Structure 1
Amino acid sequence: MSHAVTILAVPRHYPLDVAIPEHVLTRHPAYRVTVCRDAAGLETADTVIVPGYDEPHRPVPGELLDGLRHAYRRGARIVAVCTGVFAVADAGLLDGRQATTHWRYASQLRELHPRVTVLENRLLHTDGTILTSAGATGGIDVCLAMIRDDFGAHAADAAAKEVVFTLVRGPDEPQFTDAPAGDRASLRATREWVIDRLAEPITVDAMARASHLSRRTFIRRFTQESGMPPMRWVILQRLYAARRLLETSDWPVERVAGASGFGTAANLRAVFRRELGVTPSAHRTTAETAR
């Protein structure tokens, strides 16, 4: 399956925000990545990526906004990196939606576009077919999220390994944390400890002990760093693990459920329906079709 990705190099764009998606996405053979500077380049794109740009309060050319609107109306996915969200908002595509951006520009986005619900300090966010993300390395996160959605968790793992990046970060994680560096390092080690033991029973108390912190302190620091409560994070990691197993093995659903920590096939099916809106078997079929 071929997927056309067009990076719209808007005026005053940050070169890094163009280079990162071009570098990451071309590592997957199904993506055809091009860079354009005018609306004509958007006409056949399956995904349009708008990189961040300087002075986002200044409007981009109207023809580019028209191109974004047209691409969205015909079903293209729109991805904004960093301040690229301002162009998407200027096109009216974010009215009534949630979005994120680099923390430095969140207040400005809210002021200029009051009809957009701006999520503070969020790594990336998906609202329908529009993805918004933080800047700099947040561009890598959004590319990996695209690969995971298009071709599965296993493909995203491979892409992350290729660019020497970790998939431990989730979309709800903050862009930054005010916790001391030592605390962040210890909780990173704890998260890796959990990932190595997903098939085993995992409790908040066990995670706190592994972090050498009291339960209360652990919950506070973990939520501050990851953007979600500890057990919510564990469920998502188990979900990622189950997705990978469904995509890369012929194991029955019951075995996948046990290996990923859900225990039973019924529990796994319930989580899949709640989080992804599909059954494990349907996810496996979709992943096989994508390959």
Structure 2
Amino acid sequence: MQTILILALDGVMDSGLSITLDTLKAGCTFLAGAGRKDKIRIVTAGYKKCIKTGAGLRLTADMTFKEVIASRSKPNWIVLPGAGLTSDKEITARLAKKDAIEAMRLLQACGKAQSKISAACSSVFLLAESGMLSGCAATTTWWLSQIFRTRYPDIRLDESRMLVRDGQFLTAGSAFAQLDLALAIVADTMGASIAHLCSRYLLIDQRTSQARYMIQTHMQHMDQTVLAAERWIDAHLSVPISVTALSSELAMSGRTLARRIQLATGVSPVKFIQRRKLMHAVHLIETTALSIDAIAEKIGYQDGTALRKLVKREFGTTPGGLR
């Protein structure tokens, strides 16, 4: 018997909770239809038995957090659906509530028992706050990435990724990456063939990256030097840009610029320039009929070959797949 435990805190995103339950239950249906004898137990848990979702619906949980902690048998998987938090102030307030503190105690207890733990969107903050992600790689919703990086500098954040696995932890990006997370858990507990059936019947496409969805003006950092760097890159997209030229324009050493960019965005200056150009390229790919060679020229590449390779590496698809 494998147990998948879904932790539902008050205010949980209805979509994240529903996506998780629907995907897991679909997997169980396909598992039975295939004649498999595997036993999968799906359990919901809340701080109290009655949970109020973000949309105001009422859910009666199967167990309380205290009951889970007291139980001798620990779940194989724990799932933390997204919480719909949008700012540092909201995150701070949410992490201070009793149900969040008790949820962290539960995660720590189950983590010691080697339960696998997953979290999506802003709920990755709760997992990070528990201290369990220290030194690990993770992702979270891309537009809260700078807040996350400031709070937890010892976690290796890659906000461009849809899913990141590190040991017993699985983290997912923005809200609907919950779908990718649930499918990964189906694959782990029920097998790749069942996960494939789920993806086909539920029409889940492959989305390995959330980088294409990043809106450069929405990145939440306030470093004036980095903002100035962004503006200068945007104004010179059609020509090759070196780190030396950028640091010279900003009247600082390359080392200082690298430190400021790394602190604000988590990437090197070369990657920073590259991503800035790539986001403009993706915008043109999605909104115009320009050829890939023509778009490459507009962002300072000699031809479309390098752009095609970059799109494939970052998004796992071809430029044509973005149209």
Q: What range describes the TM-score normalised by the shorter chain of this pair?
A: 0.5 to 0.7
Q: Is contact 1:134–1:175 with CA below 8 Å preserved after alignment?
A: no
Q: Is contact 1:52–1:84 with CA below 8 Å preserved after alignment?
A: yes
Structure 2 SS opposite 1:142 = helix
Q: Which residue type is aligned with residue 313 of structure 2?
A: T
Q: Which residue type is aligned with residue 3 of structure 1?
A: Q
Residue 95 (structure 1) aligns with = 134
CA distance in 1, matches of 2:27, 2:152: 35
CA distance in 2, matches of 1:21, 1:226: 24
Deviating runs (4+, > 6 A) in structure 1?
Answer: none
CA distance in 1, matches of 2:20, 2:104: 21
Trace 1:205-220 onto structure 2 (pairs within 5 A).
Answer: 214-220=304-310
Structure 2 SS opposite 1:140 = helix
Asked if 1:141 is matched to 2:180, the reply is yes
Residue 164 (structure 1) aligns with = 203
Tell me by how many angstroms 1:111 deviates.
1.2
Percent of pairs identical after alignment? Answer: 22
Q: Is contact 1:184–1:225 with CA below 8 Å preserved after alignment?
A: no
Which of 311, 314, 317 is 1:221 aligned to? 311
Structure 2 SS opposite 1:107 = helix
CA distance in 2, matches of 1:142, 1:63: 23
Tell me by how many angstroms 1:57 deviates.
2.6
Residue 10 (structure 2) aligns with = 11
Residue 109 (structure 2) aligns with = 70
CA distance in 2, matches of 1:101, 1:51: 12
Q: Is contact 2:128–2:152 with CA below 8 Å preserved after alignment?
A: yes
Q: 1:42-80 CA deviation, whole Å, 9 max, x = no partner?
A: 343221111222222321432221111001111111100
Which of 32, 35, 52 is 2:41 aligned to? 32
RMSD between aligned residues: 2.7
Structure 2 SS opposite 1:27 = helix
Which of 128, 133, 145 is 2:167 aligned to? 128
**Structure 1 residues 173 and 52: alpha-carbon distance in aligned structure 2, compared to 1, 3 A threshold:** closer
Trace 1:41-120 onto structure 2 (pairs within 5 A).
Answer: 42-43=68-69, 44-53=74-83, 54=85, 55-58=90-93, 59=95, 60-61=97-98, 62-120=101-159
Structure 2 SS opposite 1:165 = coil
Tell me by how many angstroms 1:163 deviates.
1.5
Of the two structures, which has the highest relative contact order with CA contacts closer than 8 Å and spacing of 6 or more?
A: 2
Q: Is contact 2:159–2:173 with CA below 8 Å preserved after alignment?
A: no
Report the TM-score when normalising by structure 1: 0.61
Q: Is contact 2:108–2:132 with CA below 8 Å preserved after alignment?
A: yes
Tell me by how many angstroms 1:221 deviates.
2.9
CA distance in 1, matches of 2:3, 2:312: 38
Indicate the larger mover: 20-29 or 174-183: 174-183
CA distance in 2, matches of 1:221, 1:185: 16
Q: Is contact 2:82–2:178 with CA below 8 Å preserved after alignment?
A: no
CA distance in 1, matches of 2:92, 2:193: 39
**Structure 1 residues 185 and 224: alpha-carbon distance in aligned structure 2, compared to 1, 3 A threshold:** farther
CA distance in 2, matches of 1:158, 1:41: 34
**Structure 1 residues 57 and 121: alpha-carbon distance in aligned structure 2, compared to 1, 3 A threshold:** farther
CA distance in 2, matches of 1:175, 1:131: 21
CA distance in 2, matches of 1:49, 1:156: 17
Tell me by how many angstroms 1:181 deviates.
6.3
Residue 23 (structure 1) aligns with = 22
Structure 1 SS opposite 2:110 = helix
Count of aligned pairs: 200
Q: Unaligned stretches of 5+ in structure 2?
A: 29-38, 48-64, 215-278, 289-302
Q: Unaligned stretches of 5+ in structure 1?
A: 187-212, 231-291
Q: Is contact 2:120–2:174 with CA below 8 Å preserved after alignment?
A: yes
Tell me by how many angstroms 1:88 deviates.
0.6
Residue 234 (structure 2) aligns with = none
Report the TM-score when normalising by structure 2: 0.56
Tell me by how many angstroms 1:100 deviates.
0.5
Tell me by how many angstroms 1:165 deviates.
1.1
**Structure 1 residues 220 and 6: alpha-carbon distance in aligned structure 2, compared to 1, 3 A threshold:** same
CA distance in 2, matches of 1:108, 1:76: 27
Q: 1:195-232 CA deviation, whole Å, 9 max, x = no partner?
A: xxxxxxxxxxxxxxxxxx842332133234329x99xx
Q: Is contact 1:123–1:175 with CA below 8 Å preserved after alignment?
A: no
Asked if 1:176 is matched to 2:213, the reply is yes
